[in-house]
Structure 1
């Protein structure tokens, strides 16, 4: 089958690159962005254990973790009942596969009395007849003080393999009927035990590098769960009140809800305000603002009207002066005009009202010469 646009045939369907679909990857579609460490496998987003969804956008509630501690013991034995060949270096060769099967079955019999035994892994084969370096895989219960339990298991492993290799020596080029392999008892070596993974480490591994610091372990219904602050129903759960917890690379965050009647905010969405109250406050504020604008408009109108009245009054006075033939700038005050009918009467209102208007035309730089009055002496 020929898959288009970089697709690959897996024997059943075309695995299309991101952005293409169809039985031959012939149709272009929008690129799917897999979030939170998810990867595109040609058909869909493959999410990490901590997330799910079409784009790995949702965090799982919890991951159940096996309540065991994984450990391994390094052991070296020498098989004397078979000869070494270079084919044993190729793990895909039939010779290696046959030896691996026989050796695994033999070790299962030797360690049968150890309940924590979980198999062996051959790390390397060397000459002499066949020197086997391998790890004994153990799974111990996860309990308080599990380190001491694991050390006791290591001693048990050492005792079992030393006893077995001491008994299963080659006699007349034959092994006993119970075992398929014979060993050189003097070449058996058991090294220190190492803890390969605790439940905490398993939890962080399944969470992935970006989210490992946000996960923790907690028991629920006698089972051990790997949880995040966004998991619900646990002691370490983040209470978002009126919101939804979302786990991001920057940490857990509460996304607050908006309902028909309330807006919610705050770090944990615990602060809410009624929409009707906000609308009422906004309406009241708008009403107060409108009243203020009306008052300002009234004062502005009255001020402009008074200013226009004063300008009109000044203009009228200027026209009167021009009609009377007075030069602008002359010092003149009609308030001191002589009245033939009442010589001792002074029009004070006219004086004060016109005095200011005529001063506008006075040139302060113009010099005025006043002649000193002459005194005439007369004889009596």
Structure 2
């Protein structure tokens, strides 16, 4: 069914259909979504039954990181070749003990996120390591990390000086250090651009419509459809939807109003529209009725006039009189000097008006023209 083909063992179904006979319509997930058998699993940028809608906001990294290079000399441990192999048990045991000791030393720094051992060298055990720092993003995060690195330096200096005690220069902590060999070097702050991160996560198609705003000490990667921000698109009586062409407002239709306009800010009452349409129809019907009445009256008058004229012609014919207003031919004499020549005198003398029905007693008043004299 549905365009499938039999390969000898089972049906090969085209895209969009499943089943042993290709009888079921499968849900096609859009925008990179995948079907798990029950629903579409959408990527972080889309949602909906078929992943057809773009999300209004995306979660992005809220923290920034930095590292401080530190070198210390551990005097309570002897160096061995096994420490050069980070897969050896000796290295793992030392790394665990060193990490625990550093956690105690830097416990007072909230941004402390651990240490990374870069190299172990001879000289008792010289340790080159990085102190990892993480902090919530702020616009001044680089300056804050510079201040935090000063705290790191003070902490490690104080710890290595106070550990040595007693006549035998022993210490009561996990590891002992030579305070003279402690060095705090470079601070490396990882550059973080939240705007670039936001657009990268959004993807190429919709990245131009995503922007970052800082609100309540938190970063938000949003579209204009996310309400409550400076970049928000106000749709009033509608819903914002982001499409490939950009954000637009889809206006609502309620039981009492229709809404329209780019921001769905213009509404009209349905009852008003229905009233105006009804009034317009009523006026149109009245006009049609008036035209119909005039048309009927005109037809009746025209028919009556034709009837009177017809009767008048009929009466004149019965009495042998000429038709009123016509001419009577009392003779037509052609003087054929030439075949195509007719004298006008003959025509005028042979055509005479029929005055049988004219009342000779009726007076006709003609206004005398007035003469106006002007002085030159």
TM-score computed with the length of structure 2 as normaliser: 0.51
Q: How does 1:233-252 map to 2 (within 5 A)?
A: 233-248=228-243, 250-252=245-247
1:104 matched residue in structure 2: 99
2:349 matched residue in structure 1: 345
Preserved contact between residue 157 and residue 182 of structure 2 (Cα < 8 Å): no
Preserved contact between residue 118 and residue 137 of structure 1 (Cα < 8 Å): yes
Q: Is residue 130 of structure 2 the alignment partner of residue 134 of structure 1? A: yes
Q: Distance in 2 between matches of 1:46 and 1:88?
A: 44
1:115 matched residue in structure 2: 110
Deviation at 1:72, TM superposition (A): 1.1
Q: Which of 277, 280, 283 in structure 2 is aligned with 1:280?
A: 277
Q: Distance in 2 between matches of 1:62 and 1:74?
A: 34
Q: How does 1:75-94 map to 2 (within 5 A)?
A: 75-77=69-71, 80=74, 81=77, 82-85=79-82, 88-89=85-86
Deviation at 1:110, TM superposition (A): 1.8
Q: Aligned-pair RMSD on alpha carbons?
A: 5.3
SS in 2 for 1:238: coil
Q: Distance in 2 between matches of 1:43 and 1:183?
A: 63
Q: Which of 13, 17, 29 in structure 2 is aligned with 1:33?
A: 29
2:148 matched residue in structure 1: 153
1:316 matched residue in structure 2: none
Q: 1:150 to 1:266 in 2, by over 3 A?
A: same
1:367 matched residue in structure 2: none
Deviation at 1:178, TM superposition (A): 0.7
Q: Distance in 2 between matches of 1:39 and 1:130?
A: 52
Q: 1:101 to 1:175 in 2, by over 3 A?
A: farther
1:317 matched residue in structure 2: none
Q: Distance in 2 between matches of 1:41 and 1:78?
A: 53
Deviation at 1:114, TM superposition (A): 1.6
SS in 2 for 1:345: helix
Preserved contact between residue 33 and residue 40 of structure 2 (Cα < 8 Å): yes
Preserved contact between residue 71 and residue 181 of structure 2 (Cα < 8 Å): no
Q: Distance in 2 between matches of 1:280 and 1:228?
A: 41
2:225 matched residue in structure 1: 230
Q: Distance in 1 between matches of 2:253 and 2:52?
A: 21
SS in 2 for 1:114: coil
Deviation at 1:197, TM superposition (A): 4.4
Deviation at 1:218, TM superposition (A): 4.8
Q: 1:346 to 1:21 in 2, by over 3 A?
A: closer
Deviation at 1:189, TM superposition (A): 4.1
2:4 matched residue in structure 1: none
SS in 1 for 2:349: coil
Report Cα offsets for 1:34-80 as digits up to 9, x if no partner.
43x656678755545565444444566667889x7523123143665
Deviation at 1:130, TM superposition (A): 6.4
Preserved contact between residue 68 and residue 187 of structure 2 (Cα < 8 Å): yes
Q: Which runs of 5+ in 1 are unaligned?
A: 1-17, 299-329, 350-380
Preserved contact between residue 229 and residue 252 of structure 1 (Cα < 8 Å): yes
Q: Is residue 66 of structure 2 the alignment partner of residue 72 of structure 1? A: yes
Q: 1:149 to 1:84 in 2, by over 3 A?
A: same
Report Cα offsets for 1:223-248 as digits up to 9, x if no partner.
64624422234454321122211234
TM-score computed with the length of structure 1 as normaliser: 0.51
1:355 matched residue in structure 2: none
Deviation at 1:96, TM superposition (A): 6.2
Q: Is residue 204 of structure 2 the alignment partner of residue 214 of structure 1? A: no
Preserved contact between residue 240 and residue 254 of structure 1 (Cα < 8 Å): yes
Q: How does 1:263-302 map to 2 (within 5 A)?
A: 263-273=258-268, 277=273, 280=277
Q: Which runs of 5+ in 2 are unaligned?
A: 1-14, 296-337, 354-376
Q: Distance in 1 between matches of 2:178 and 2:209?
A: 47
1:176 matched residue in structure 2: 171
